Copies of this chain bind each other. A is one copy, B any other.
Amino acid sequence: MPVISYIDAVTQALMEEMKRDPRVFVLGEDVGVRGGVFRATVGLIEEFGEDRVLDTPLTESAIAGVAIGAAAYGMRPVAEMQFADFIMPAVNQIVSEAAKIRYRSNGTWSCPLVIRAPYGGGVHGALYHSQSVEKIFTGVPGLKIVMPSTPYDVKGLLKSAIRDEDPVLFFEHKRCYRLIKGEVPVEDYTVPIGKAEVKREGTDVTVISYGLTLHFALQAAEQLAKEGISVHVLDLRTLIPLDKEAVLEAVAKTGKVLIVHEDNLTGGFGGEVAAVIAEEAFFELDAPIKRLCGPDVPAMPYSPPLEKEFMLNPEKIAKAIRELAEF
């Protein structure tokens, strides 16, 4: 299997889905001629022309709203928000419209729309090019939220998202774009939305994570293995719908849980995961449920020492796992 980068997996999925289905089109700021500011849509305009690879005006609410109209009509738009931070002007369209179209029309209309957005920090992006924004949407029924960590999952899940009958928010960690590489089949395949995956088997402590921190957790696990601590790592991959079964199974494996995400702690999705565990796997637990997350500050600062302080890393995670293991 060829080894490709996380961002190439995005491009390949788009390319293949646009070939497969003429209803698929992409739209966003600079996605056409420029191929996206991260180059995720590179090569598409040459292949499919400017109508299907649409450089929109600088208006996120319009990107979402126009895509919603087109999706309700029967197309399969894939909208790009240039940075997840800039999804905010589109919140009304996403929350009030996309998420509610099926429900409010008693199932007679639908909104098969994908919104892709690069999120996350560690790239000197400062406050407004580093945020994790999933918490804004995880409480909004009607949306699906996908946050893959590997090229394989990116490609398979993006394809599933495009083929899904409902609106999917597809968040790509921008630090992973060129950092993370992995094997990806040449043949068409999909990864189902709503299924977590065990990325490492272990017996002492369970780490539940997604995105960049998932890789940090794997690195921490590798390190801790040498110290004799066996870490079980679950990659949520999809936040909504949450794969509760996989979560509960992973908890049962070790009885000790550390939930890790880059998004800030309070009000982050880790709270939901912890709550599910505290309700449904209470008797499996041998220790308090721990969360290790971004700090509760408005966003990640620019200055290197502050950015470093904000970001998680394998060492911070290893430390938290050790504490749990010793519990």
Seen from chain A, the residues whose Cβ lies within 8 Å of a Cβ on chain B are 61, 85, 88-89, 91-92, 95-96, 99-100, 103-104, 127-128, 135-136, 138-142, 240, 242, 263-264, 266-272, 274-280, 282-283, 285, 287-291, 296-299
Contacts and interface: CB of A to CB of B under 8 A. Distances in A.
Contacts of A128: 96
What is the count of identical protomers in the complex?
2
A298 B104 contact: yes
B269 A267 contact: yes
A238 to B, nearest CB: 13
6 contacts: A103-B299, A135-B139, A139-B263, A267-B269, A270-B275, A282-B287
Contacts of A99: 298
B266 A139 contact: yes
Contacts of A92: 88-89, 91
Given A91-B92, A136-B139, A274 B279 contact: yes
A85 B95 CA distance: 10
Nearest to A91: B91
A274 B278 contact: yes
Contacts of A264: 139, 141
A282 B282 CA distance: 10
Contacts of A240: 266-267
Most buried by B among A96, A268, A275, A291: A275
A278 B240 CA distance: 22
A179 B88 CA distance: 35
Contacts of A91: 88-89, 91-92, 136
Q: Which 6 A-B pairs have CB atoms at the shortest separation, nearest pair first?
A: A139-B267, A135-B139, A274-B275, A88-B92, A282-B288, A278-B278
A140 B277 CA distance: 24
Nearest to A268: B139
B139 A95 contact: no
A85 B89 contact: no
A298 B142 contact: yes
Nearest to A290: B279
Contacts of A100: 127, 298-299
Contacts of A291: 275, 279
A98 to B, nearest CB: 10
Given A96-B85, A103-B298, A263-B139, A275 B279 contact: no
Contacts of A272: 266-267, 271, 275
A267 B263 CA distance: 14
Contact of A278 (B85, B142, B289): B289
Most buried by B among A139, A282, A290: A139
A290 B279 CA distance: 6
Given A142-B298, A274-B275, 17 more contacts: A61-B89, A89-B92, A95-B136, A103-B297, A103-B299, A104-B298, A135-B140, A136-B140, A139-B267, A240-B267, A266-B272, A271-B274, A274-B278, A274-B279, A278-B288, A278-B289, A282-B288
Contacts of A298: 99-100, 103-104, 140-142
